[in-house]
Amino acid sequence: MKEKIRKGKENNIPIRSIFLASYLHTKGYNYVKIEPDILGKVIFFYPQSPEILEEIKKFYSNSFLQSFINSYRIIKNKLYEEMENIKE
């Protein structure tokens, strides 16, 4: 699930992915603010810079990272399914 890289308000980059926000944090970048969206989820805003845009491209082009994230989601969904089966 690739998110669009676009400018937000105040020339900030809005990031909805907790995985991408964690990756940027690991690389030493800090968000400038966090806001909820209309669905109650979180948007991280990062300053607009060529370096951050390059890191975002690296994140999405890293096949190992993307495979790891996909596996995480699959395992998480299976866990929730199993927990639902136990409740029934």
Helix (H) or strand (E) holding 74: helix 63-87
Cα 15 to Cα 59: distance, rounded to the nearest angstrom: 13
Is 4 part of a structural domain of the chain?
no
Residue 37, amino acid: D
Domain count of the chain? Answer: 1
Q: Which two tokens stand for residue 82?
A: 């199993």
Is 40 part of a structural domain of the chain?
yes
Domain that includes residue 68, residue range:
9-87
Mean pLDDT, all residues of the chain: 89
pLDDT category of residue 87 using cuts at 50, 70 and 90: confident
Is 37 part of a structural domain of the chain?
yes
Cα 69 to Cα 63: distance, rounded to the nearest angstrom: 10
- The segment with the largest mean pLDDT, out of 7-16, 46-55, 75-84, is 46-55
Is 2 part of a structural domain of the chain?
no
- Strands 42-47, 33-36: pairing kind: antiparallel
